[in-house]
Structure 1
């Protein structure tokens, strides 16, 4: 008998079904216009774009012209790429335009879907940002979909790291701009460190479409983007503390894998104190509990975490003498991204590589708060439904599951649970052999580089040819994924499982054609393509007969989404396929979340070695464990966001104040207001309201006026005059300083004075904001302890954060006033010296700025072209470059490494 809920769904449909149905009339109108737009010439399509722009300028809303704009875009894509969008792709485009996340399965053509809402919203002339997860995809999609926009008379730009400023500004000025989330966030921060509006590259935040939205807005949201400058070098302290950690025994520390935390016990602290006293790091008599020991305690804790929570080839890898982090969600290397608070340096000490100095934060923003700047946001992914609550609560984004173009035929089998990891891997190898023997391509998903290489070694031992796709081979990602659908192919992948490149059954025709053309450049492309398409049809049929792509998971991930992403690689566009997960009680998820009870059950059942338990109930209990972890991670991100929101309000106030100063021609008024406020505060401090003249501190006021306003005024004499009160005195000081500053203006010239005021204001805002960020970081690290006193850490942080911000604003007024009152026109010799110093400082600052999420600094090209190292070197022909290694000098002769010059990805 059906439950009431199930019955209601059958009659009324689910909320998702109703949303999908609501788009049918719009899709019908777009389809009805198809023949009309097919009849237009190429110029006619561009003319339509001009007409739409005029209508939007005339007051029509983009919703009014959606059917015509989508019909025009569909025709543009058909002519430019030979792709005619399916109805479900139009529906996906409508949901994106409405500010939703469109959940579309792998292979449903999300890249093309984005062009529809991007084109429609770009008609406003305010620019649209399409956000991707890596630079390769940003460049690929911009080049590919740029043909569609060009067909419609629109411009496309792409933003990438180390791009020349002029080119970057041009990319942002385009109608549609493709960029990674990192680069967009960094450009926002860099723009708010610029000295004038003309230097800024972004032109506002109108509409963004985020591809792989779950990866960007959830997985990466825990780590803020930080632009930082170098601080003091503490590399010796890291090395000293690192040598103690291997000497620790189990009683010296506590390890909590659920919360990923490691702490010293009382015994551990005593052990550490003894060693530190013996080595003279800690002065005799000073304990770890003294306030002076805070830095040592902090770094000792980081050394412990580096050893006990971070495993090589799992969370990081060592490459070219550098510790490179691995993204736990995609398995990709995060080149240039560093852990903060000295943790990265602790790992560098552990691995014995060069220790880079710690950095001081100059500006930072979280992805949550960056993407909430957009007036409208849309997103696409194959897996969002499990995080729908988070998307709704944090970004106000709805999740709509868009039906597939063809029904899914993939078989998702129940998980197989083994008692030990050895039994599991033996079963995995047998399953791979079986699929390989019948010509079925297999994609094997692993959770770490270490495990993928262990499996690869087992397959090599058994003589099974295979490819490994992990952070070490990420340069060959597209090629490996293109081959993954060939008959009998075996591909072992960490969780990255081919983002951005579909696994096509029988192999990828385009890749095969490119390979054949490189092997035989003289061959005729059409003849080659015809031959390859014929071979591909045979291969594809073989794979279809063998059952399509077999996705084999070797472990469950903490997040259901990652498992679903792996599954989704199989069964694209109605293809057959199967997915199966092999688990053991030794797996991290099983071990941390209650495998002991399951182990007892399996023992009592009398399971023999090599036997697996397979039951839908096991799947259900695993999903519950995963949901529990997801919920906990959501709570962590939510809590982080609440704290960051405090800083975000202040960040917006500071950045808008900076923008106002840069935009303003009359900054003299801002400086004068600040000066008048300073005078009011000084008079109030030294001559409090409702006090008598004999209670006034006129000497203190005169000294303060001399320090802050650079004027020696007879304040004490004025105060003794008949009828002079605080208000009269304040007015006299204001008049005297206004006259003094007006004389300065005469000496400098009005235009120069405005420029000086603007520069002083911006410099002081930046300096105060940097100091404020450091103070907030320190406050955040200690405010958690207030919980022990039954006080809410968040409300304490809000209150004290607000007080600190008020202190910042007061300090800013005083410092700007003091600086402006002390300036004087320079002599010619002083002017030249100052300009020289300013140029040197600017150069040094540019060289020192590093990005904790960015990558290594790339030096600018020399004015003259250097002599190439390889004879016949041609910049536009990679075949003429020889075969340099990634770390070899670039053959162009620039003196830079190949990977940072012509070999940059």
Structure 2
């Protein structure tokens, strides 16, 4: 069967080939319009936008405008950018418009491809979002491509970290909005914490194109976006949980050091139930009843703190604080805290001051955020290996696009060595050889630690490392004498703008660059270097004129000479060196894809050892036996295509396992997402209503009906009623002291009559309050109380669901499906939330009073004390902590000015200060709480 399918593919082509071939007819139609559009003036070409929009208003579908719209964009790009879309780029644009993923190799011009479907879909006026992996790329792409969009009469906005709500609102109002995945997600969460529709910044989710779609929708999607705020002091609870741990014996828990987990045994559960019952902390009969999920969660964290985390190894105690120690570097990480109450459990264990736990106020996964878009598309150089996940989770097909020019890169088989030392010796030997021949080298490592290890080996071999955070060394990077020296550069993700310059020059003959992860860099490695980058950098201070033109001409000529040198037969283009295989084939392909762009020559080779993680886990024993049989000597390697195929199968196993984990987590998150959608839609509906008086009255009536039904059994005689209990409940909830026990003594009284009397009295009191406060003020109070109560209860619900998710797995021991248990209990908790909402809103509104207070000096920002978190799936560090401002601002202290130029006494020297940055006056307060409050 395999043979027949191979023959069929050769004759008829694969399904992917047939789909791509099907686009050719429309490409031909677009090409046929080119002479006609070239003949138009700029104003006539710009007028096409109004013409298309008029047709859309008349009911013409976007699909019917694809050919003329794409032809218009191509002509506009030719006139503004000097770039004309290739036929394969037109095909890529069609794939994106169809709501699929276009896999296009590095250097095929994905940024330009996006202009085609972005323009077409922006014509509808509903907005198009272009999603990038960092702020630098969002700014760069928006500025670069806005020349095309502005020429055609469309507006462009940019969303980056640190801008004000008004700027965000304007950016979202634009026809096209560029921004990062984190910013789009956090704006959505923040919008659903606002109390007025006019304060919201987003205007819907029409169409999004995700650049580096595999990085954002798979790698980054392993961790959710979280907005959190400080919780009330619960130190007593943590201390109580801590006192139970010494009572536990080794047979009460099981430790799995491999995955760093600890869990209670059956005997431990029984002992814990008794301890909690004695302390009057157990609700209900069982430890795992839904009412006890928070207690069980914190007890588990206390057990982890005592049995898995060692003092002076995992953390130290300093100045009455628990400080985390990084497991990779051994460095202290002050300011970082473990989440979900674990840090508080460690503080209780060490008897230091317990700091408040952060409470999740809003949370969403990228999977559920991006599935809200009416149409979603993506582009990347590596997606085919993850096609199943894209299809199952996002409903996205992957279409592999052909390259504009034939691929000439030579991919060598892997070299396998016995030890890591032998492997790195071979890598350094190849780097030395490439340097001698003037071949540029890009070395890819799997972690920062491996990069530093290789860098240390190079230094011992007489090489020097450049520090490109220093402006003078960055300038030297472009000089040929620096290339000829034995110097290398390590890339990191801290300064995106300098990083782009390094990547741009990594193709200069003799350049040696070590990088940890080449996904999402957004800049091609061009052989000979990037002339545009060099001109922008070297001539930044040179004014326009003959001198600048002469210097620019010289730079471009030098780049062409260096490119010719890199292309010469003795050099062979960019050499890619992989220091080991990643868990995912996609990451390896991203690294390989950096060579061989646009028909350039290039080569790639991976060096492995039996001590590499992937080899050690999956292939070490078999490979060790094979190497012994072959009698390999030291520094000799085994090279064979079979090893490559075996490694790819091992990678497929890891990919499948990771996919299953993500899929299972998503099933749980989908349960919460359904509830989140209901709450958020309810909030928007309430904010949009002029008055919620009717809603509040319905809640009041439902509460009264519930209370009456609870205290007066159906078809019961009055002497069987709990009249006293009903009177107390009405007093507690509705703030009315009614003679319910006297009513129960009336002859012929029925529960309906009691219910009507209570409702009438409650409605009269509510009406009196409205008259006393005035109808306008009462409407404002009702809406504010309703929204605030809903928000507070939703936050408590999120915490309970989080704790429930962590303990529900134990139900599997009782042969019960954890997911079904989670669905059932989360639904019950949600119903309880709605009932509690009715009770809280009614109780507050029946007691509310107006107190006159002087207004505050300056309005407080609702989000001032909140923390945004998106943990990097690889490092665990919060990406949002490093997201403030531009790359240059980060390098220069946050406000774009060198510290020496800032005079704390003179605000005129401060420049533009971020609102959340420390005030330059030195007060220690945030700018917005100090001098910023008067601006």
Report the TM-score range of the alignment, normalised by the length of the smaller protein.
0.7 to 0.9
Among 282, 295, 298, the residue aligned to 2:304? 298
Alignment-derived partner of residue 532 in structure 2 = 510
Alignment-derived partner of residue 522 in structure 2 = 500
Q: Tell whether 2:419 aligns with 1:420.
A: yes
Question: Within 5 A, what are the aligned runs for 1:671-820?
Answer: 671-820=696-845
Once the two structures are superposed, what CA deviation does each residue of 1:439-478 show, in whole Å capped at 9, x if it has no partner? 1101001112222122222223333321111246656311
Q: Helix, strand or coil for the counterpart of 2:339?
A: coil
Q: Helix, strand or coil for the counterpart of 2:83?
A: coil
Aligned partners of 1:412 and 1:314: how far apart in 2?
35
Conserved? CA contact 1:459–1:465, under 8 Å:
no
Q: Tell whether 2:130 aligns with 1:130.
A: yes
Q: How many Å apart are 1:686 and its aligned residue? A: 0.9
Alignment-derived partner of residue 680 in structure 2 = 655
Q: Helix, strand or coil for the counterpart of 2:102?
A: strand
Q: How many Å apart are 1:340 and its aligned residue? A: 3.1
Aligned partners of 2:330 and 2:688: how far apart in 1?
46
Aligned partners of 1:354 and 1:519: how far apart in 2?
54
Structure 2's unaligned 5+ residue stretches are: 246-252, 273-294, 316-322, 463-485, 871-879, 890-894, 931-935
Q: Helix, strand or coil for the counterpart of 1:55?
A: helix
Alignment-derived partner of residue 376 in structure 2 = 377
Aligned partners of 1:356 and 1:478: how far apart in 2?
40
Aligned partners of 2:302 and 2:799: how far apart in 1?
19
Aligned partners of 1:160 and 1:71: how far apart in 2?
31
Aligned partners of 1:312 and 1:52: how far apart in 2?
60
Question: Within 5 A, what are the aligned runs for 1:68-147?
Answer: 68-147=68-147
Aligned partners of 1:794 and 1:670: how far apart in 2?
34
Q: Tell whether 2:364 aligns with 1:360.
A: no
Q: Tell whether 2:858 aligns with 1:852.
A: no
Question: Within 5 A, what are the aligned runs for 1:160-239?
Answer: 160-231=160-231, 232=233
| Higher alpha-carbon deviation: 181-190 or 743-752 | 743-752
Alignment-derived partner of residue 277 in structure 2 = none
Q: How many Å apart are 1:496 and its aligned residue? A: 3.1
Among 566, 572, 581, the residue aligned to 1:543? 566
Structure 1's unaligned 5+ residue stretches are: 245-251, 274-289, 324-337
Aligned partners of 2:587 and 2:56: how far apart in 1?
41
- Sort the Cα spacing of 1:418 and 1:474 in 2 relative to 1 into closer, same or farther, 3 A: farther
Alignment-derived partner of residue 831 in structure 1 = 852
Conserved? CA contact 1:772–1:804, under 8 Å:
yes
Alignment-derived partner of residue 391 in structure 1 = 390
- Sort the Cα spacing of 1:856 and 1:507 in 2 relative to 1 into closer, same or farther, 3 A: closer
- Sort the Cα spacing of 1:302 and 1:169 in 2 relative to 1 into closer, same or farther, 3 A: farther
Alignment-derived partner of residue 465 in structure 2 = none
Q: How many Å apart are 1:495 and its aligned residue? A: 1.3
Q: How many Å apart are 1:386 and its aligned residue? A: 0.6
Question: Within 5 A, what are the aligned runs for 1:511-530?
Answer: 511-518=533-540, 524-530=547-553
Aligned partners of 1:235 and 1:615: how far apart in 2?
63
Once the two structures are superposed, what CA deviation does each residue of 1:480-535 show, in whole Å capped at 9, x if it has no partner? 11220001111111113671011000011012212331475587332122211211
- Aligned residue-pair number: 832
Q: Helix, strand or coil for the counterpart of 1:394?
A: helix
| Higher alpha-carbon deviation: 148-157 or 743-752 | 743-752
Conserved? CA contact 2:238–2:345, under 8 Å:
no
Q: Helix, strand or coil for the counterpart of 2:853?
A: helix
Q: How many Å apart are 1:18 and its aligned residue? A: 1.4
Q: How many Å apart are 1:890 and its aligned residue? A: 9.3
Q: Helix, strand or coil for the counterpart of 2:387?
A: helix
Q: Tell whether 2:555 aligns with 1:532.
A: yes
- Sort the Cα spacing of 1:343 and 1:549 in 2 relative to 1 into closer, same or farther, 3 A: farther
| Higher alpha-carbon deviation: 623-632 or 519-528 | 519-528
Aligned partners of 2:227 and 2:522: how far apart in 1?
28
Q: Helix, strand or coil for the counterpart of 1:843?
A: coil
Q: How many Å apart are 1:220 and its aligned residue? A: 1.2
Conserved? CA contact 1:452–1:468, under 8 Å:
yes
Q: How many Å apart are 1:692 and its aligned residue? A: 2.4
- Sort the Cα spacing of 1:255 and 1:686 in 2 relative to 1 into closer, same or farther, 3 A: closer
- Sort the Cα spacing of 1:38 and 1:306 in 2 relative to 1 into closer, same or farther, 3 A: farther
Q: How many Å apart are 1:871 and its aligned residue? A: 6.2
Q: How many Å apart are 1:596 and its aligned residue? A: 2.1
Aligned partners of 1:23 and 1:226: how far apart in 2?
42
Question: Within 5 A, what are the aligned runs for 1:890-901?
Answer: none
TM-score, length-scaled by structure 1 = 0.85
Q: Helix, strand or coil for the counterpart of 1:417?
A: strand
Aligned partners of 1:819 and 1:730: how far apart in 2?
21
Conserved? CA contact 1:850–1:856, under 8 Å:
no
Once the two structures are superposed, what CA deviation does each residue of 1:222-257 show, in whole Å capped at 9, x if it has no partner? 11110001245979999xx9xx9xxxxxxx996665
Q: How many Å apart are 1:823 and its aligned residue? A: 1.6
Among 573, 577, 584, the residue aligned to 2:609? 584
Q: Helix, strand or coil for the counterpart of 2:559?
A: helix
Alignment-derived partner of residue 471 in structure 2 = none
TM-score, length-scaled by structure 2 = 0.82
Alignment-derived partner of residue 474 in structure 2 = none
Aligned partners of 2:734 and 2:330: how far apart in 1?
56
| Higher alpha-carbon deviation: 76-85 or 514-523 | 514-523
Q: Helix, strand or coil for the counterpart of 1:363?
A: strand
Alignment-derived partner of residue 487 in structure 1 = 509
Q: Helix, strand or coil for the counterpart of 2:487?
A: coil
Alignment-derived partner of residue 328 in structure 1 = none
Conserved? CA contact 1:693–1:719, under 8 Å:
yes
Conserved? CA contact 1:302–1:342, under 8 Å:
no
Once the two structures are superposed, what CA deviation does each residue of 1:274-329 show, in whole Å capped at 9, x if it has no partner? xxxxxxxxxxxxxxxx9785442133366369968999888689699555xxxxxx
Alignment-derived partner of residue 32 in structure 1 = 32
- Sort the Cα spacing of 1:343 and 1:70 in 2 relative to 1 into closer, same or farther, 3 A: farther
Conserved? CA contact 2:78–2:84, under 8 Å:
yes
Aligned partners of 2:419 and 2:215: how far apart in 1?
32
- Sort the Cα spacing of 1:303 and 1:106 in 2 relative to 1 into closer, same or farther, 3 A: same
Q: Helix, strand or coil for the counterpart of 2:606?
A: strand
Aligned partners of 2:449 and 2:311: how far apart in 1?
20
Aligned partners of 2:659 and 2:580: how far apart in 1?
22
Aligned partners of 1:504 and 1:526: how far apart in 2?
22
Alignment-derived partner of residue 656 in structure 2 = 631
Aligned partners of 2:227 and 2:30: how far apart in 1?
46
Conserved? CA contact 1:416–1:614, under 8 Å:
yes
Alignment-derived partner of residue 13 in structure 1 = 13
Aligned partners of 1:82 and 1:890: how far apart in 2?
45
Conserved? CA contact 1:105–1:404, under 8 Å:
yes
| Higher alpha-carbon deviation: 226-235 or 811-820 | 226-235
- Sort the Cα spacing of 1:344 and 1:431 in 2 relative to 1 into closer, same or farther, 3 A: farther
Once the two structures are superposed, what CA deviation does each residue of 1:61-106 show, in whole Å capped at 9, x if it has no partner? 1111111111111122112211111111111111111110110100
Q: Tell whether 2:615 aligns with 1:593.
A: no
Q: Helix, strand or coil for the counterpart of 1:496?
A: coil
Among 615, 621, 631, the residue aligned to 2:646? 621
Q: How many Å apart are 1:867 and its aligned residue? A: 13
Conserved? CA contact 1:235–1:357, under 8 Å:
no
- Sort the Cα spacing of 1:666 and 1:554 in 2 relative to 1 into closer, same or farther, 3 A: same
Superposition CA RMSD, Å: 3.8
